Amino acid sequence: MTHEFDRTDALLADIRDLVRHANLITARGRDVFFDRADRTQQLAAKAIVIDLQTAVERLPEGYRDRHPHVAWAELRAMRKYLAHDYANTDYQIVWNALVTDFPRLLVQLGIA
């Protein structure tokens, strides 16, 4: 008899932690994020978005089904865009995700 290990709580904790790191980036401000001489914040934010989507994708399907108000498809699309079209990344979209979409995701998942 096999038992599937439910990692939902661990994944939600990971998502919360990734959003916390995103908040640290945005707390430094737009000028730091869009500094053309230092893309460190942009690259870190991009990695956070990709990692967050990876964690979201690992949530059980039943859990995602119980949260239909979450923009699951848009999260997948953003990860695909960032991972595969890296040369043309629009960092304004990434900034907006960090500032607006991530905090809203926490509320929608009930883990804010």
For 41-65, the DSSP string reads: HHHHHHHHHHHHHHHHHHS-HHHHH
Q: Which domain holds residue 82?
A: 8-109
Terminal alpha carbon distance of the chain: 36
Q: How far apart are CA 112 and CA 75, in angstroms?
A: 18
The answer to whether position 3 is within a domain reads: no
pLDDT at 82 > cutoff 90: no
The answer to whether position 98 is within a domain reads: yes
The answer to whether position 17 is within a domain reads: yes
Task: Report how many domains make up the chain.
Answer: 1
pLDDT digits (tens, 9 = 90+) for 9-46: 999 999 999 999 999 999 999 999 999 999 999 999 99
Q: How far apart are CA 90 and CA 64, in angstroms?
A: 28
pLDDT digits (tens, 9 = 90+) for 57-70: 999 999 999 999 99
